[in-house]
A = this chain, B = another copy of it.
Amino acid sequence: MAEEQEPDAAVIEPVPEAELSPELLVARYLEDNDLEKVREFATGLHYADLADLFERLSKDERIRLAGVIRDNFDPEVLSELDDAVRDDVVSALSVKQVASALTELDTDDALLVLEEMDAEQQQRFLKHVPEEDRTLIEEGLSYPEDSAGRLMQREVVTVPGHWNVGQCIDFVRRKADADEDERDLPEIFYDIFVVDARRHPVGAVSLSKLLSTRRPVPISDVMDPEMHQIAVNTDQEDVAFLFRQRDLVSAPVVDANGRLVGAITIDDVVDVIHEEHEEDIMRMGGVIEDDLYRAALTTTRARFSWLVVNLLTAILASMVIGLFDATIEQAVALAVLMPIVASMGGNAGTQTLTVTVRALATKELTVSNASRVITKEVIVGSLNGVLFAVLTGLITWLWFQNSTLGGVIAAAMVINMVVAGLAGTTIPIMLERFGVDPAIASSVFLTTVTDVVGFFAFLGLAALVLL
C-alpha cells in the first residue's frame, strides 16, 4: 500500500501531477518554464481536448502554449475553438503557419477560422494559400455568413446516372488511390450523388445502400430521387431544421441554377444545432453573444445596452407606483406587499413565455393553433391566479391582521396572473409576426406589462377600497 510506505509523511506536498486537470498541469509546466514537457503533453492530446485546454487556460497561458507547440500544430484545433480564444491562438502563430493550416483544413473549417477577421487580415493569410484552395475559400467567403454555402464541403462524389453500382465503387476506389493532388474525395462521406450532364442532382445513394447492392445493378435503380436539395443561400437554422425534421444525414447543396456545388453532412449540422441552441438560451437570459472568453470591458459594453432597456422599464414601473404615493403614505403595508403581485405575475408570465417562444421556434405554434394556445394559457393563468390569490390573501390577512388588504391583494393577483398568461402568449406571437426575434425582445415587454399591471392593480384597488 502506498499509504503504508510513508506512514508519517506530514509535509504538505504539491498535488501529484497525475491528479491534476490538463489545464492545471500545463499551467504548472508553463510556470516552471518546462517547455519540453508542455510540448510533449499538448501534442499528445486529441485535437478536441487540446481545444478545450486552450479555452480553459488564461489568455497569457494560451498564447504561450500556442507559441510552444506552433511547429507541431494540428490545424483541426482551430475549427473547435471559441472565436475569442481562436484570435489569441492565431496571434501566436506565424502567417505561414496559419496559411498552411487553412490549406490543410476542409473548406468549411477554413471559413470558420477566417470569417471573423476583416478583409485585410484575411488576405494577409490567404495570399500564402495555394491558388486552388484559395479560390474555394474565397468562393465560400462570398456566401452570406451562417448560410448553407458556409457549411458545405466542396468535395462531393458525383456519378452519372447510366453507371451501375460496380462502376460507382470502382470510381471511388480509383479516386482514393490517386495522388494527393488528384484525390478530391471528402475526408468522410455518407452518400454519393447522381447528377445529369448539367450537374443537376437527380438522386442520392447512401453508402450502406451502395454496399449492400450487387455490382451489375444500375445506380438509377437504387438512388433516392426525392433527396432534399438545399439552396446555397439557405440560412443555417433552416438547414438544421430540415435535417432534424427529415432525419437527413447529408444533403446536396445547389446554386441558383440548380447545379450541385457541395454537400452538407450531419456532423456540421450538429454544431449548428448546438450553436443555435446556445444563442437561444443566451438571448432569453439577456446576453447578446456568449461572452465567457471575452475581456471584462467588452462584456460590460455588450451587456450594458440590454440593462439600459431594463432600466427604462423599471422606471416606468416606478412611475406607476409614483401615481399612488399618497395612498402608500397612508398605508405603508402597501409598499411592503406590492412587489409580491408584480413578481408572481412576472414568474407566471415567464413560464408561459418560455413555452410559447419555443413552440414558435420549433414551428409547433402556427396561425391555426394560436388561439387555442392563448385560450389555454389564459385558463392556466386564471386557475393559478385563483390559487395564489387565496394563498397570498390569507397570508396578508394573518400578517397585517387586515382582511380588506387580503382581499385587495387577492384580486390584484388574479388580474395580474390572467394578464401574464395573455401577455406571455400574445407578445411573442406578435413580435414573430412583425419579424422581431421573440427570444430577445419578449421578456422585456412581458415584465413591463406584469410590473405595470401588478403595481397598478394592487395600488389602484387599494386606493379605491382602503381610503
Which A residues contact B (CB, under 8 angstroms)? 21, 23-24, 27, 46, 48, 52, 55-58, 82, 169, 172-173, 175-177, 185-186, 188-190, 206-214, 243-247, 249, 266-267, 269-271, 273-274, 277-278, 280-282, 284-287, 290-292, 296-297, 299-300, 303-304, 306-307, 310-311, 313-315, 317-318, 321-322, 325, 328-329, 332-340, 342-344, 347-348, 350-351, 353-355, 358-359, 362-369, 372-373, 376, 379-380, 383-384, 387-388, 391-392, 395, 447, 451
> Nearest chain B CB to A219's CB is how many angstroms away?
13
Since A46-B246, A300-B380, A321-B335 are in contact, a sample of 5 more A-B pairs with Cβ atoms closer than 8 Å, ordered by chain A residue number, is A52-B363, A58-B369, A173-B211, A287-B351, A306-B347
The reply to whether B344 and A342 contact each other, CB–CB distance below 8 Å, is: no
- A-B contacts, 13 of them at CB < 8 A, read A21-B367, A56-B368, A58-B372, A173-B214, A175-B212, A249-B266, A273-B273, A282-B355, A284-B354, A303-B380, A307-B351, A339-B339, A343-B451
A173 to B211, CA, bound (A): 7
A347 is contacted by which of B274, B307, B328, B338 (Cβ under 8 Å)?
B307
A281 is contacted by which of B21, B281, B291 (Cβ under 8 Å)?
B281
A291 to B384, CA, bound (A): 15
- Chain B CB count within 10 A is highest, among A57, A313, A363, A364, for A364
The reply to whether B212 and A210 contact each other, CB–CB distance below 8 Å, is: no
- Chain B CB count within 10 A is highest, among A269, A281, A340, for A281
Q: How many copies does the complex hold?
A: 2
A307 is contacted by which of B344, B363, B366 (Cβ under 8 Å)?
B344
The reply to whether A303 and B244 contact each other, CB–CB distance below 8 Å, is: no
> Nearest chain B CB to A249's CB is how many angstroms away?
6
Residues of chain B within 8 A of A392, CB atoms compared: 311
